Structure 1
Amino acid sequence: MPKVKDICRHVRTKNAGPFWVTVDFFYKDFDTYKEYKDSEDLGPGLFARLFGTDPTSIKRIPVDSLHMVKVSYVRPNAQAWKGERDMHSGQSFVRLLDIDVRPSTSGSAV
């Protein structure tokens, strides 16, 4: 089964304000994007498990023209809280790279 790092040419995470983080999945090409953009393996359960966020608050925005999907989730704690280890969330994407991803099934993952 392919991993995120196999189907995406670039994955990035970034701060989206003091309460949100955004993840951008840039797929290798349009065919790969179509095949995996709605994969349940990249759904709310993954973000809840890896980042401790509320799965009901996740926003998912596919961008066909860029062959990418943007996922935003609520931080479990506000930016710069006492235990913060990655204030700008620039390294959070690393946890996603080795996630196994199955092709999309009918319907959307989020």
Structure 2
Amino acid sequence: MSAASSHLPIADYDGLVSTLAYPYSPPETDRGPLYRFTLNHVATGITPTELFRTTTEDVRPMATLLDYCSLVRSKNAGPFTLTFDFMCHDQAAYDALVTTGLLNKDLFATVYGTDPDQILVVNHPGALAVKVSLPRPTVQGDLHDSDCYAGQQYAPLMDMELPPAP
């Protein structure tokens, strides 16, 4: 859509704003050269699949924490401590998550820049949960504290790849 057409009125709209908004500026995006592919060959007496060499492979995608857990959260446990909760879907998911050994002190020490000796990892089999606590990078409410409630601290863990969930 061109910039000129974006300032035309929207049909059947009576409000004060009658133009469109664009996430990019300028709204036109150069997509590069355009190519056309034309196949001018005729093949007879064979099936379409015989024209191309194909191989198939059964690929099992890697899982993420949400494949194991129905809830992943971080929060404050006082002004000096950050805590994470990983609550699994069911017993099989809990057993598989604990068996991976992913949620360990070294992981949290690396991701959050904390001494592993100050990290506590507790498995709660009765609750199908794993809890991890560690010192906050900054004291809650400090001038340099970018997440006062620590509710976004779990985000770096969400894209980690785990073995496929059961």
Shared fold, TM over 0.5: yes
Q: TM-score, normalised by structure 2?
A: 0.57
| Structure (1/2) with the larger helix percentage | 1
Match in the other structure for 2:106: 45
Match in the other structure for 1:69: 130
Q: Which has the higher contact order (CA 8 A, sep 6+)?
A: 1
Distance of 1:77 and 1:85 partners within structure 2: 9
The alpha-carbon deviation at position 76 of structure 1 amounts to: 2.5
Distance of 2:159 and 2:66 partners within structure 1: 7
What percentage of residue pairs aligned between the two structures are identical? 37
**After superposition, where does 1:8-19 map in structure 2 within 5 Å?**
8-19=69-80
Structure 1 stretches of 4+ with a deviation exceeding 3 A read none
Q: 5+ unaligned residues in a row in structure 2: which ranges?
A: 1-61
Q: Give the total of aligned pairs.
A: 103
Q: TM-score, normalised by structure 1?
A: 0.83
Root mean square deviation of aligned Cα:
1.7
The alpha-carbon deviation at position 98 of structure 1 amounts to: 1.1
Contact 2:138–2:144 (CA<8 Å) still a contact in 1? Answer: no
Match in the other structure for 2:49: none
The C-alpha deviation readout for 1:50-80, integer Å capped at 9, x for no partner, is 2222211111111112110111011132222
**After superposition, where does 1:1-110 map in structure 2 within 5 Å?**
1-102=62-163
Contact 2:69–2:89 (CA<8 Å) still a contact in 1? Answer: yes
| Structure (1/2) with the larger strand percentage | 1
Q: 5+ unaligned residues in a row in structure 1: which ranges?
A: 104-110
